């Protein structure tokens, strides 16, 4: 029979990568909690309209990359391409937007985009993200960026922070009008020609070198910010300086999702190939209202976990791992009870087969145990067990009641 394979661009996470994955999630969740974010989990399947109205009709995600289908109840549904829209949906559905105040969430899980798979670009990938609602101040943008910086610092990942401001309702519409005038006579690639109609600022996101060249001298939104946006952007940069967070102002940074206002940022790595953005985010002050909620400002980020895992080492073992084995029938009978008791304090690995002392010993080493305990006939008769602390090379025979 033909072997069944996983779908293209959808990978299992196993072995060493799984260890890193879990380690990342545990540490990252702790960091997010330190910044006041609370865990939230939303379904991976949502009504398609949620993503169309949030991610935006001009984005590649909404136009080409959604896993979209009609379910048995004739509902138009899609696998989530990102996490922000669902968090906003929850925020409105639970009427949190009406409560007033500041709310912070963190989440992680699989996202789905039907892109052409390549290194660092998957069709199912995982994100870890944080969103803050109800805080207008640029200080929250700083807080969010500072958290990402600290996450990368913790995992010792060198990245470069690119930032930009995409303006607000006062400056963006007039800028877009001027931009259209400025680029209407310039022939760009087919994709950018479409962008001229749907969302002209996305032309700056084009990877086509010819387009980039032609757009080089065109004014960017960063050059046309209103006074308020300019002041906020300056204050953000000043605060980043005072926290010694290095950044590059990238005027071409417009992001691939349509919902951003004011601050936009990406963290870029030089070590993972062409798909080099490890994290992206920014402010989205209109999305809650756009999806039917109150006027509530928001800012957030998401880290691409697979891209990050490429760059971190297997976690150092900071906990004792016991391996317990039995060498005869009588010992095997007692094994479950002894293992179960030890598991109240430790990670315990075992093998429910009678094996020789040497076989158990080698098994324990293979499984990276830090401590070994072997139930032998002789010690068991005296109510004892043989143990070895492999880290310090200390052998002991201890009473089972103290083990
Ligand atoms: P995004 O830039 O589309 O932003 O995605 C965030 C990160 O997810 C990227 O920087 C990248 O590391 C990873 N990523 C994206 N697509 C793929 C893919 N096909 N394969 C592997 N990794 C990928 C968002 O999704 C926004 N929701 C971020 C945000 C939160 N903005 C505000 N709050």
- How many angstroms does the Cα of residue 79 sit away from the middle of ligand 1? 15
Residue of 67, 89, 125 to test ligand 1 pocket, by largest number of atoms within 8 Å of CB: 125
Task: CATH 3.40.50.800 in the chain: give the residue spans.
Answer: 321-402
3-state secondary structure the chain: CCCCCCCCCECCCCHHHHHHHHHHHHHHHHHHHHCCCEECCCCCEEEHHHHHHHCCCCCHHHHHCCCEEECCCCCEEEECCCCHHHHHHHHHHCCHHHHCCCEEEEEEEEEECCCCCECCECCEEEEEEEEEECCCCHHHHHHHHHHHHHHHHHCCCCCEEEEEECCCCCCHHHHHHHHHHHHCCCCCCHHHHHHHHHCHHHHHHCCCHHHHHHHCCCCCHHHCCCHHHHHHHHHHHHHHHHCCCCCEECCCCCCCCCCCEEEEEEEECCCCCCCCEEEEEEECCCHHHHCCCCCCCEEEEEEEHHHHHCCCCCCCCCCCEEEEEECCHHHHHHHHHHHHHHCCCCEEEEEEEECCHHHHHHHHHHCCCCEEEEECHHHHHCCEEEEEECCCCEEEEEEHHHC
Which part of the chain has CATH 3.30.930.10?
15-161+260-311
Q: Provide the CATH number for the domain formed by 15-161+260-311 in this structure.
A: 3.30.930.10
The pocket around ligand 1, CB under 6 angstroms, is made up of 82-84, 113, 115, 121-122, 125, 127, 129, 131, 256-257, 277-282, 300-302, 304, 306-307
49-73 tens-digit pLDDT: 999 999 987 788 888 899 999 999 9
Per the confidence metrics, is the pTM higher than 0.95? no
CA of 190 to the centre of ligand 1 (A): 24
Question: How would you write the pLDDT of the chain (403 residues) with one tens digit per residue?
Answer: 899 999 999 999 998 899 999 999 999 999 999 999 999 999 999 999 999 999 987 788 888 899 999 999 999 999 999 999 999 999 999 999 999 999 999 999 999 999 999 999 999 999 999 999 999 999 999 999 999 999 999 999 999 999 999 999 999 999 999 999 999 999 999 989 988 988 899 999 888 899 999 999 999 999 999 999 999 999 999 999 999 999 999 999 999 898 999 999 999 998 888 889 999 999 999 999 999 999 999 999 999 999 999 999 877 777 899 999 999 999 999 999 999 999 999 999 999 999 999 999 999 999 989 999 999 999 999 999 999 999 999 999 999 999 9
State which fold the 321-402 domain adopts. Rossmann fold (3.40.50)
């Amino acid at each position: 029979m033909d072997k069944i394979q996983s779908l293209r661009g959808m990978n299992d996470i196993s072995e060493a990568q799984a260890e890193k994955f879990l380690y990342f999630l545990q540490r990252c969740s702790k960091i997010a909690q330190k910044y006041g974010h609370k865990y939230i989990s939303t379904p991976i399947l949502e009504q398609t309209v949620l993503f169309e109205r949030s991610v935006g009709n001009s984005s590649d995600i909404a136009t080409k990359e959604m896993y979209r289908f009609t379910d048995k109840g004739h509902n138009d549904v899609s696998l989530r391409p990102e996490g922000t829209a669902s968090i906003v949906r929850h925020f409105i559905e639970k009427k949190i937007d009406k409560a007033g105040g500041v709310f912070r969430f963190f989440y992680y899980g699989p996202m789905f985009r039907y892109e052409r798979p390549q290194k660092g670009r998957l069709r199912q990938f995982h994100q870890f993200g944080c969103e803050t609602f109800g805080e207008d101040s640029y200080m929250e943008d700083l807080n969010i960026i500072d958290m990402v910086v600290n996450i990368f610092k913790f995992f010792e990942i060198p990245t470069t922070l690119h930032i930009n401001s995409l303006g607000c309702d006062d400056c963006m519409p007039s800028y877009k009008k001027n931009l259209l005038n400025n680029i209407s006579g310039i022939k760009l690639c087919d994709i950018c020609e479409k962008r001229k109609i749907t969302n002209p600022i996305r032309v700056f996101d084009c990877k086509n070198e010819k387009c980039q060249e032609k757009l080089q001298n065109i004014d960017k939104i960063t050059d046309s910010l209103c006074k308020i946006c300019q002041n906020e952007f300056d204050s953000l940069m000043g605060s980043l300086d005072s926290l010694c967070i290095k950044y590059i102002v990238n005027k071409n940074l417009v992001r691939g999702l349509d919902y951003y206002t004011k601050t936009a940022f990406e963290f870029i790595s030089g070590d993972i190939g062409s798909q080099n953005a490890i994290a992206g985010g920014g402010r989205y002050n209109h999305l809650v209202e756009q999806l039917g909620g109150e006027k509530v400002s928001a800012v957030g980020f998401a880290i691409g976990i697979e891209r990050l895992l490429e760059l971190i080492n297997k976690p150092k073992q900071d906990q004792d791992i016991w391996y317990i084995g039995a060498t005869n029938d009588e010992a095997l009978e007692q094994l479950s009870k002894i293992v179960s008791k030890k598991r109240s304090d430790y990670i315990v690995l075992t093998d429910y087969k009678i094996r020789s002392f040497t076989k158990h010993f080698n098994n324990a080493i293979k499984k990276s145990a830090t401590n070994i305990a072997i139930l032998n006939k002789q010690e068991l008769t005296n109510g004892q067990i043989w143990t070895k602390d492999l880290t310090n090379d200390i052998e002991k025979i201890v009473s089972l009641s103290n083990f």
